[in-house]
Each structure stands twice: as structure tokens, then as C-alpha cells.
Amino acid sequence: MKERAHKKEDEVRGIILEIISSSNLTQKLELVDTLQRIGVDYHYKKEISDLLCSIYNDKDGGSNDLYITSLRFYLLRKHGYTVPADVFEKFRDGQCIISSDDVSCLLMLYDSAHMRIHGEEILDDIITFNKSRLQYMITKKLEPELAEEVRCTLETPRLRRVKRVEARRYISVYAKKAVKNETLLDFAKLDCNILQDIYCDELKELTIWWKDLQSRGDLSFARDRMVEMHFWILGVLYEPYYSYSRVMVTKFTLLVSLLDDLYDNYNTTKESNIFTTAMERCDEQTTDKFPEHMKAIFINILNTTNKIEEELKLQENRHAELVKKLVICTAKFYHAELKPVLMNTSKFPCVALPVCK
């Protein structure tokens, strides 16, 4: 499967290079948009950068086509280009409204307006009016695929969707389109399957680690949210070459969740004091005074943190030592939350959380 994917990747690169050399603005815009929505754009960062530069320097800029102007505005703003909102001014009608009777154009206009910044009233107005317009259109007899796209957009504008979830969804949408590029579609399916295999392998590794952690001490008090936390990290780091980072950050996030539950629901105030002092020292020998249930938790957290730090040092990561500091800071912050509660019960004002140094 990987060999087929590499072959398709090269074929898609050829398509991109061909369109870069053309002067067709619509083709360039739709290619960039399609690559991003089917989730293969990370393979072509240099080529997409060249396409966006060409799009930005195009003097026509979409002319009098609202769909093209909206798509251009959306893509350029998404990638940090400065594009003024007044490009939409020429589309105002006699009532100063910017809208369309074409559903696809309306969807693109609505999505592009969500790239607004503070004070851009013209984009605020586009969102307000066209949200009602889309809600009205969905009551009409639209094609099932188009009606679903409207519902999806009203629920979550394109900018706010989780990239890999959107890619998986849009691959199915793109496959049903009357006009599509089969090479792009085939590559997107292969790439999606390869990434899914990688994510499954990561979950296997994390499950083994988490089960081992649970077997070494009573963690029945803690939330078992390992898959959910991996998904959180996947929303930020989805590329295959960030596999180690996803696993490491998921482990760290689980440790943070574990500490949260420990301080909130499991430890007494006295135990929290002892535990926090031991965390600050990061010394396994300090566990002699620990209750048995706390000893296993402390050793597990310390061993996991030390292992992550060692792995980062082997990778010559300059910030390896920050992992332990972050865990210590987290423990201190959760411990500090107990102080305002105790002081409030004694009719004292809440104290500010201390700064971890």
C-alpha cells in the first residue's frame, strides 16, 4: 500500500506543478482547497506555498465572481496573507447585503467570513445574514449531499473543524462529485488508510503503557480517558512524522489528568502536602513515609517522566529537562488549589496561586 501511495504522491505532484505554471486562478484555488480538504496537503508544503504566492500576486483577484473572491479570501487569510475585507464591497446589493442564490457560493462566502478579525463589520454582517439564508435553504429540496454540507457548515464552519476528521468526511463527499480528479481521490484514500494504521499502532502502545500503569497501583479513582486524550493531540499533530510526539504528549496529558484526580478526589490535605514535597524533590527514597496507594502512583509518575526525558536526550532535544519541571509545576498548581478552599472555610480570603520557579 505504501508503494502505491508513493507512486500516487508523485503523480499528484505532477498535477500540482502543471497547474502552478498555468494562469488559471480558479484551478489554482480549487486545487489548494481540495488538497487541504482531503488531507494530503502536508505532502506538498513547498508547492502549495508557491501556489498561494501566485494566487496572492494575481492582479485580477477573482474579479466579479463572488465564489472565487470568497475562496481566495479564505485560503489567503488562512495562510497568513494580508487581504482586506473590503474585497467584498463590490458585491453589496441595493440593500447593502452580500449574499447569493447559489448554495455552493453561499457556503464558501459563509466560511470565508469566519476568517474575520475584530472590527470587520462587513464580515459580521455576512455571517449574520447568510446564516439565516442557509437555514432557510436547508428547508428546500436540496440534493442530499448538498443539504448535508449545509448542515455541517451551520454546525461547525470549516475553519473550526478537526483536520483529520474533516479529511475523512470530505473524501467521501469528494468521491460523489460529478467532477473530480481520480488520482487525487485515490491518493487521499491510500494516505488516509496509512495514517489510520499509524494511529492504531500508537493506541496499542499507549494502551499497553496505561494498563501497565494501572497494574502497578490502584488507579480506580482516575478517569480512564486515554483514547480521548490521544484524539485531542491528534487534532494538533496529525502528520505521520509526529508519531513519537503524539505518544509522548498523550502520556504527559494522562499524567496531568491523573494528578488532577489525585489532588481533587483521593488525597487528604496531609497526604497532598507529603506528595507535593516528594514531587519537588523527585526522589524515590522520600516514599518511605507514603501510604501504600500513594507510593505506587508516585513511582509510576517518576518512572514515566524519567523515561520521556531520557528518550528526548537521546534525540538531542535541548528541552528534555523541561518535562520533569512541567510535571512538578502541575503538582504544585493542583496542590495550591487546596489552599484557597482551606482558607475560605476559616473565613480568610483566597490566596493567589504561586508561580512555579
Burial of 148 (0-12, 13-18, 19+ CB in 10 A): middle
Write down the pLDDT at residue 116: 94
Residues of the chain above pLDDT 90, percent: 54
The model's pLDDT over 3-56, given as tens digits with 9 standing for 90+, comes to 999 999 999 999 999 999 988 999 999 999 999 999 999 999 999 999 999 999
Which cell goes with 246? 503524539
Predicted confidence at residue 348, as pLDDT, reads 36
pLDDT tens profile 257-300: 888 888 887 777 887 888 888 888 877 776 776 777 778 888 88
Find the mean pLDDT for residues 74-87. Answer: 93
Q: Is the pLDDT of residue 347 over 50?
A: no
Closest Cα partner for 41 from 51, 55, 26?
51
Rounded to the nearest integer, the mean pLDDT of the chain is 87
- Higher pLDDT: 213 or 15? It is 15
Domains defined for the chain, CATH in brackets: 1-187 (1.50.10.130), 217-338 (1.10.600.10)
What would the mean pLDDT of 136-144 be, rounded to a whole number?
86
